[in-house]
Amino acid sequence: MNIKRYIRRLKTLVEFERRAEIEAMKREIALLSGKEREERRRAILGLRGYPQGKEFGYLLVRFSREKVIDTEIGVGDLVVISRGQPLKSRFFGVVTERGKRYIVVAVDNLPSWALRMVRIDLFANEITFKRMIATLDNLTDKGVRVLRFALGQKEPKEPKSVSFEKIDNKLNKIQEKAVGLALGTRDFLLIHGPFGTGKSRTLAEIALQFARQGKKVLATAETNVALDNLVARLFGRARIVRLGHPSRISNDLIK
């Protein structure tokens, strides 16, 4: 398959998914009353806002009420804040904390009306889709190379193990072998194993070995928890920049 055509196809699929998610959320908001949506645990009614200061450039607002809050809205979710008409509101935020009778939201600005009686609705997150499109639009030569591997147009080269001086002396022989192969690979290396077999320890050693060589390492993970675990292992042993919204980063790491 032609790479450019494949990328166009991926962008089309991302756009389809984005539209479907947004329309589904808007349809539900339009068809259900605020009370009905709250019963489905995707809205919180009767909240008052209280400014809580700033964190990482965002304004934190604590929205609370006397009645206990029972909702599926959680930390990291994108929400829309309104006086009763969510589809007409352009006031969005990300949840940073949730308690029994309150929810804290990080916002870019704070209109005065948001401090009075408001409702908060779970909303579709367009940011994720925009980032997907931006990534495909700005794909580097290495990114194209990865696609060729995925499509079977190119075979990755066999990794060659290299010797190294351990930083973590608690590595076992299998972990040492994985690190040596990682340091000697040019394309891909898959480190696989069940829970508790030391994959995170191995990845931390690989990152530290590359850092020792003066190289920069980009570590990504499917979940924020997985990434936080890796950061915790590297903390104090290398210069680290943890990218992401503060609400999605472990409080222990922020402290």
Residue 183's pLDDT is 96
- From residue 175, alpha-carbon distances to 162, 184, 212, 235 in Å are 13, 14, 18, 20
Single pTM value for the model: 0.62
- Residues with pLDDT less than 50, the chain: none
Domains in the chain and their CATH numbers? 32-124 (2.40.30.270), 156-254 (no CATH)
pLDDT of residue 122: 92
Distance CA 173, CA 84 (A): 61
| DSSP-derived secondary structure for the chain | --HHHHHHHHHHHHHHHHHHHHHHHHHHHHHS-HHHHHHTTSEEEEEEEEEEEEETTEEEEEEE-SSPP--S--TT-EEEEESS-GGG---EEEEEEE-SSEEEEEES---GGGGSSEEEEE---HHHHHHHHHHHHT--HHHHHHHHHHTTSSPPPPP-------S-TT--HHHHHHHHHHHH-SS-------TTSSHHHHHHHHHHHHHHTT-------SSHHHHHHHHHHHBTTB-----S-GGGS-HHHH-
**What local confidence, expressed as pLDDT, does residue 252 receive?**
75
